Structure 1
Amino acid sequence: MSLRSYVMMLLAAFVFAATPAQSASRIKDIVDFEGIRDNQLIGYGLVVGLNGTGDSLNSAPFTKQSLQAMLERMGVNISGANLNTKNVAAVIVTATLPPFTVQGSRIDVTISALGDAKSLQGGTLMVTPLMGADGETYAIAQGPIAIGGFTAEGDAATVTQGVPTTGRIASGALVERELSFQLASMTTLRLSLRNPDLTTARRIAQSINDLIGQPVAEPLNPTGVRLTLPLSFNGNMVDLITDIEQLVVEPDLPAKIVINESTGIIVMGQEVRVSTVAIAQGNLTVTVSETPQVSQPNALAAGQTTTVPRTNVDVSTGSEKKLALLEGSVPLRDLVSGLNALGVGPRDMISILQAIKSAGALQAEIEVM
């Protein structure tokens, strides 16, 4: 082991021991390195071998055209023929090309029905080119499809579990073209924060500079940190990334409340603070219930059996709700406890938080999804 590597290990161990473990994260878990990224691929193909659960050719003309074109390429002349098979389905094939994938490697693909096929169970995907955003072909997909659901039907009932019109082929695509990116020969590299924050960017730069012993990292904005390759790494950026990605940094979190109105979910960050405020929650509730009764005359009396309406009206003013006081600059734990003491549900809590924000007593940003 070289002297430089030994010193790097000691410094990394010291930084790890000195950083709070409860909220600290490794640099590799909070940033993305420039150029190290996935690429999305997409293609259009045909699935054959379905047991009568494929597309209806009259309802899916694109399936019929694709089937005719495929057969003609194989030397089968079907001009004027009436195709009526239901064993073929048109599908969209998607895949993710990992960074630095070499030619000849295999990647997983996902197949989704495009027409009115009922199930892809038992089907086989024909040769399908997968293209990138630039229109170039990067992989070729083919193989039997595995699905996670099924469908069964009879004359009067149908049972469907999962999604039988979506499947997957493990290692179903063969990479035909590589994406050229020379990471090792780069002299500068940008680190992109997944959660942009100025304080976190500065902490990352300081942690890297402390490890290397010279100013090689510079925070540019809340999103990025620029990294310059020092001479001691012999012109290899991979060595520098390997040394710094294990450094532990404590990300700074903004005071933020995220609210999902449709589901009633509330997520509050630990830095949320509330000034002194009094809260009361209650409303007027009117309940009307109908309990009709049957009026039947005596056996010797003349008359008819009738239904007599009976209405009960109950009015609740919410007087059991009390006025709660939240002290100034309370932490998140006390804020949640104070709101729970009011006995309110998540949806009422959303309205209370928005009202506190409108009153200027909430030192946090509210984001409604």
Structure 2
Amino acid sequence: MYEYNEIINKLILWYQSNARDLPWRKTKNPYHIWLSEIMLQQTRVEAVKPYFQRFIHTLPTIEALANADEETILKLWEGLGYYSRVRNLQKAAQTVVGEYGGNLPADYFALRKLKGIGPYTAGAIASIAFSLPHAAVDGNVLRVMSRLAADPRDITLPATKTAWEEELTSVMPKGEEGTFTQALMELGATVCLPNGMPKCQGCPVREHCQAYKKNVVLQYPVKSPKKQRTKEYLSVFFLVDQGNIAISKRGEKGLLSALWQLPNCDREKAVPVALRDWGIINGEIKRMKGQKHIFTHIEWHMDCYFVAVKEKEGHTFLWLDRHQIEKEYALPSAFKKIWQEGCETLEEEIK
């Protein structure tokens, strides 16, 4: 199709001069590389930096991660979203400790068997940490390769991704596997951009790019349209009783499973009925600003209420001091703005 050797050499030279200074690039530690790749899934690089450094500081080894209690790892992950990622990370760490003595196996197929490690992450760890010839193909790499080849295949189809994984694995440069992997990632992240016009003038391989030559860069990659997100309508409550705030744990299955949350219910349920069902017999209700939170496939539209509880019965919720909740319990991002406004209202009430 075109001269891979020339493309690879140019990419590597470009990367060596233009790579961003990122903390996980300063090491070959497989644990650090693994953690960074899991954190970077669906999260911006700049947002990940402090999370990565805090996580490594608190849990410096795979064994420490394997033995940590769940609240600790969820708190460290708080704000990154997709909490199943960190739960899977810990399950995989426990397997690594039990079966590999606490060291990630230097084997692509063994890595693939670990919980939460798919072809992309396994390829990234294998090539970057262990210099093994396995490609790591994510959205950035698919975009780069689709434009270079003017490839009409739909990148949302698993077959397209698999085809590119096989092709790139077949041309991995010996001794520079990790550099080539990161160069492709970097090109997609900083030059061959997804939204708006890519920075073709700064691309080291534009003379090899079929889409650039034909002036059809924005026609690639080919992607089938996304399905519309489902909308859900909730009432969310910031309940306060003698300075303590109510939180509850979500069910073991479904969205945000087993995470702590602010009490909430379907919007169709009347507010007084919801409060009564929770054992709130008497309380002063104030309307707060409505919020919207977008997940991958679902939108939450939330009516929000501050309730100063005057009388309650039963033990429906966990009632804790604000500072204890903020220190020890992870609240999903969906509730963060409501939490912030509720705490500000609480401070005003105390004054």
Larger proportion of helix: 2
Question: With structure 2 as the length reference, what TM-score do the two structures score?
Answer: 0.25
Higher Cα radius of gyration: 1
Larger proportion of strand: 1
